[in-house]
Chains A and B, each alone.
Chain A
């Protein structure tokens, strides 16, 4: 659990604004996955990155293995974006184990 430090733990945004979530890694990671927990508690895959950046709608993610971090940017936040977001990463030496961040609870307000 100590391999991934996720921040902030909680974030409040007004509709239409944006911000970034960040995960720092204490060791070199092979890849990172960003999830969102839905209302039923399931983890929904948002992005998988082995390097570089990916964008999907109002979400954009980046992963830098060498600098040991990943970010998830949200722009033009909507009410339905509210939820808990997690990053999870796999170490270079073992891709069958995921190390999770502690989550960011995002609240989007009108």
Chain B
């Protein structure tokens, strides 16, 4: 079936540097999401995005985080600057109608900040 691709699958970065996580969503999907999973913990909502705008963000979505999807290309999560506590697996998801029933998740990007 249709897939969400996340690039890269793994990233190691020095604390304080910038990182961009890329998500290639399902082609006709309109809603986009990022979730964060710290090792050993539950996946937690970060942000959702529709029609070029952030609709909602959680308290985990710090000021250092930003998202965009310029011209229908990758849906990106940028962290600038990174901090040690940003180490986690970041999952991207997309959906057509913004309903749980049609979510498609990627395999995640494992980010390690050192």
- For B48, give the chain A residue with the smallest CB separation: A96
Residue A66, interface by CB 8 Å:
no
Return B34 CB to nearest CB of chain A, in Å: 12
Which DSSP category, helix, strand, loop or mixed, fits chain A's interface? Answer: strand
Q: Which of B32-63 contact A (CB under 8 A)?
A: 33, 35, 41-45, 48, 55-56, 58
Given A33-B103, A42-B106, A48-B101, do A96 and B56 touch, yes or no (CB 8 Å)?
Answer: yes
| Residue in A1, A86, A89, A101 whose Cβ sees the most chain B Cβ within 10 Å | A1
B20 touches A (CB below 8 Å): no
CB <8 Å contact, A102 and B45: no
Q: Is the CB of A98 within 8 A of B100?
A: yes
Please state if B43 and A96 are interface contacts (CB–CB under 8 Å): no
Chain A residues closer than 8 Å to B91, beta-carbon distance: 43
Please encode chain B, from 54 to 76, with 1 for each CB lying within 8 Å of some chain A CB and 0 for all others: 01101000000000000000000
Cα distance, A13 to B55, chains bound together (Å):
42
Q: How large is the interface on A (under 10, 10 to 19, 20 to 34, 35 or more residues)?
A: 20 to 34
A97 to B59, CA, bound (A): 13
- In the complex, the answer to whether A97 meets B56 with C-beta atoms within 8 Å is yes
Is there an interface contact between B56 and A41, defined as CB atoms closer than 8 Å?
Answer: no
Measured between C-beta atoms, what is the minimum distance from B33 to chain A in Å? 8
Partner of B42, one of A32, A48, A95, A101: A101
Instruction: Compute how far the CA of A95 lies from the CA of B55 in the bound complex, rounded to whole angstroms.
Output: 12
Taking a contact as CB atoms under 8 Å apart, the answer to whether B43 and A86 are in contact is yes
User: B3, B33, B42, B99: which contacts A100 (Cβ < 8 A)?
Assistant: B42
Q: Contact residues of B with A, CB < 8 Å?
A: 3-4, 31, 33, 35, 41-45, 48, 55-56, 58, 91, 98-101, 103, 105-108
